[in-house]
Amino acid sequence: MITVLQDNLGALWQGVLTTLAITALAFLSSVLLGTLVAVFRVSPIPPLRLVGAVYVEIFRNIPLLALLILVAYGLPEVGISLSLFTTAVLSLALVSAAFACETVRAGINGVPVGQAEAARALGLTFTQSLARVILPQALRTMVQPLVNIFIGVALGSSLAAAVSVGELTYQAQQVGNRTAEAMLLFGISALVYVVIALLGGGLGSVLERRLAVRR
Amino acid sequence: MVNTTRVLFDEPGPRARRRIALATVVAAVVVLAVLFWAYRGLDASGQLALARWKPFWQQWAVAFLLQGLWGTLLVTLASALVAFPAGTLLAVGRAGRRRPLRWVCTAYIEVFRSVPTLLLVYVFLFALPGVGLNLSIFWKLTVPIILINSAVIAEIVRAGIKALDRGQTEAALALGMTTGATVRRVVLPQAVRLVIPTLVTQLVALLKDSTLGYVVSYPELMKQANNLANNTKLLFQAFVVVSAIYIVINFALTRLATWLETRIRQRTGARPGGAPVAGGPVATAVDPVHDLPTTVAPH
């Protein structure tokens, strides 16, 4: 049991690192892309609103596995071949951005109308009132949902194993297959995921306390 | 939409209206150009040729996909039928006062909420048969989905219980109802009603989880698409078609959730801690229900 671990520590560690890399990259890009789509959705320009709405409805409703398979095996037939790592990050980011967009939008909607009215009455421009008044307040209500998205990205990254990306779930399955210690390896991987989720949740709570209004 | 606009800017004046009109034209041109560019790219690869899509309209292909859809519905319904009551029980256990029970429920929820479904499917697929637990393929797919989604649903129901006014429990107890009766007849009916939209959204998550049939080779929609792709050599088309089917079904469910949410908001009138709702889903900053994880799992 111990020797199995010693022999395969490299592969498992590689899996953990890949999972962390996919999660971090996909989460950051999904927040950026999600904010952009949210801006589209709240803008007064109809075509942009339409694009935002269509984007959200497609990527919120497509199963991640379907998108992964499309990107991994479908796109090469159209002449776009991406590396497996890029496939995983791209698919996860596209799907999570739809959820991030709705989070940002709900956050903006959650700010009382009076705040924006007051900002305008003070003569702040649209950008100023968005950046100085609306978004800082929206951010507070967004922390918890964003943490949920982060955890969703971390757990979702395991689906990349189904298209042979060498992340944690994939490595655990491969090593478990070779060594007949499957239970142990799945147990360890589950523990890693739980730790990632707990760390994400903990960081969220700290952030929430930092952002809270002190009265 | 209207609400968002009202938060961020006033009714536009003549100059702003001109600028918006200009931006609309520019944006429309850019969007159309991008769409055209994408179309050209697809067309150049030959993937848009009608002959490559026609097979999916033939009777045998439709029957094949319908069979997959049936499998998907079966997995989703079976998981929902077990996970929803189990999740509710876990939520009550975690919210309750009996210590050991509360700890067990909390531990279960926290662990299974943080484990990927695929990992658990692998456990049932590769590890458990080694120790003598060899379920049928259907259950190898459905049991992991149930185990994980019970935990997620428990958190949703618990959020509903927490959002409920404490006076409800106090009043029930003051009337001489037992704790059990209070939970069953006062707390749960109201709490569950509050989170019905989120629960409908969770159905979407269940449906998405059922795509793991692709991994365990259970003939649901995704696996059938794969078989279809292998038979016809039209992989791109096969997966575009099933993705479209998934999007349509999930879109309908999401819409249902939104509709229910508006309806429940209207019927319950004033939200706890918020102003009475006038005309549509305006989220107040202190609205506990709105902050529910409607969008917990992107996968």
User: How far apart, in whole angstroms, are the C-alpha atoms of residue B72 and residue B278?
Assistant: 39
Structure tokens of A169?
Answer: 């779930």
| Of the partner residues B8, B110, B246, the one whose CB lies closest to the CB of residue A61 | B246
* Residue ranges of domains in chain A: 2-211
Task: Please determine, for residue B176, whether its predicted confidence score (pLDDT) is greater than 70.
Answer: yes
In a domain, B88, yes or no: yes
∠ CA A73-B34-A42, nearest 5°, is 105
Domains in chain B, number: 1
Nearest to B196 by CA among B276, B150, B265, B114: B265
Per-residue model confidence as pLDDT tens digits over A109-149: 888 888 988 998 999 987 888 888 888 888 888 999 999 99
Say what the alpha-carbon torsion angle A103, A104, A105, A106 is, to the nearest 10 degrees. Answer: 50
Task: Please determine, for residue B299, whether its predicted confidence score (pLDDT) is greater than 60.
Answer: no
Q: Contact A47/B243, CB-based, under 8 Å? A: no
In a domain, B292, yes or no: no
Specify the DSSP element, H or E, that contains B32: helix B14-44
Q: Contact A112/B284, CB-based, under 8 Å? A: yes
Per-residue model confidence as pLDDT tens digits over B90-120: 999 999 888 999 999 999 999 999 999 999 9
In a domain, B30, yes or no: no
Q: Contact A126/B45, CB-based, under 8 Å? A: no
- The CATH number that applies at residue B179 is 1.10.3720.10
State the residue range of the domain holding B218: 68-268
What CATH class is the domain A2-211? mainly alpha
In a domain, B3, yes or no: no
Quote the minimal CA–CA distance from B85 to chain A in Å.
23
C-beta neighbour count of B135 within 10 angstroms: 14
Q: Contact A62/B246, CB-based, under 8 Å? A: yes
A96 touches B: beta carbon within 8 Å: yes
Per-residue model confidence as pLDDT tens digits over A5-21: 778 888 999 999 999 99
- In chain B, residues with a C-beta closer than 8 Å to the C-beta of A77 are 45, 47, 235-236
Structure tokens of B172?
Answer: 């029930």
Per-residue model confidence as pLDDT tens digits over B225-241: 999 999 988 999 999 99
Q: Contact A70/B243, CB-based, under 8 Å? A: yes
| Of the partner residues A44, A70, A153, the one whose CB lies closest to the CB of residue B20 | A44
Confidence of residue B295 (pLDDT cuts 50, 70, 90): very low
The amino acid sitting at A174 is Q
pLDDT computed for residue A215 by the predictor: 61
In a domain, B118, yes or no: yes
In a domain, B210, yes or no: yes
Compute φ and ψ for B130, nearest 5 degrees: -65, -30
- Under-70 pLDDT residues of chain A: 1, 214-215
User: How far apart, in whole angstroms, are the C-alpha atoms of residue A36 and residue A77?
Assistant: 30
DSSP string, B6-22: HHH-PPP-HHHHHHHHH
Q: Contact A63/B113, CB-based, under 8 Å? A: no
Quote the minimal CA–CA distance from B46 to chain A in Å.
8
B247 touches A: beta carbon within 8 Å: yes
A198 touches B: beta carbon within 8 Å: yes
B residues 3-42 closer than 8 Å to A (CB): 3-10, 12, 20, 23-24, 27-28, 31, 41-42
Q: Contact A148/B295, CB-based, under 8 Å? A: yes
In terms of C-beta density within 10 A (0-12 exposed, 13-18 middle, 19 or more buried), how is residue A123 classed? exposed
